[in-house]
Amino acid sequence: MSTTTFLDLALADHFVPAEPEHQRLVLTNDSDPREADLSGITVIELQFPKFNDGRAFSQAFLLRRRLGFTGTIRATGDVLLDQLLQMQRSGFTQAVLRADQNLAHGQALLTHFPAFYQGDAVHTAPHFVASVVTHA
């Protein structure tokens, strides 16, 4: 069974990046990740300038599935609780929530669904395929 991946949450007014700056790449939402030099990069920050601008979801999926990036993908900017499940399924591993969001509620939302029927950026096989493998 495909389970959800862990998404580390933080609030914007308390967050300080832990990684060295030379290992972090910040991509604006109009950047093409395929054009970025990812050598030596361990963290990629994808920006949500507005809640309704979802281009960073596509960037995260592209980084995970097509480019094979295995490091941290962090969501920054106007990040709301409503976006967390989709972030998790798109390949994000960290989300820096807007300061007015409830961190505890965000963690609870992420554990609400133990698995999804469709595959996603990290667990590519659909649930029915994973079920066949575990019951064989």
- Structure confidence by residue, pLDDT tens digits, 1-12: 333 345 787 777
Written as one letter, the residue type at 97 is: L
The pLDDT assigned to 122 comes to 66
Domain ranges of the chain: 8-135
Could you report the per-residue pLDDT of 70-89, keeping only the tens digit for each? 999 999 999 999 898 888 88
For residues 27 and 12, give the distance between their C-alpha atoms in angstroms, rounded to a whole number: 18
The pLDDT assigned to 130 comes to 60
The pLDDT tens digits along the chain (136 residues) read: 333 345 787 777 778 888 889 999 999 999 999 999 999 999 999 999 998 899 999 999 999 989 999 999 999 999 999 898 888 888 999 999 999 999 888 888 877 666 655 656 666 555 566 655 555 5
Contact 110, 85 (CB under 8 A): yes
User: Per the confidence metrics, is the pTM higher than 0.85?
Assistant: no
For residues 91 and 70, give the distance between their C-alpha atoms in angstroms, rounded to a whole number: 9
For residues 4 and 119, give the distance between their C-alpha atoms in angstroms, rounded to a whole number: 10
Q: What is the CATH number of domain 8-135?
A: 3.20.20
Non-local (6+) Cβ contacts of 39 within 8 A are none
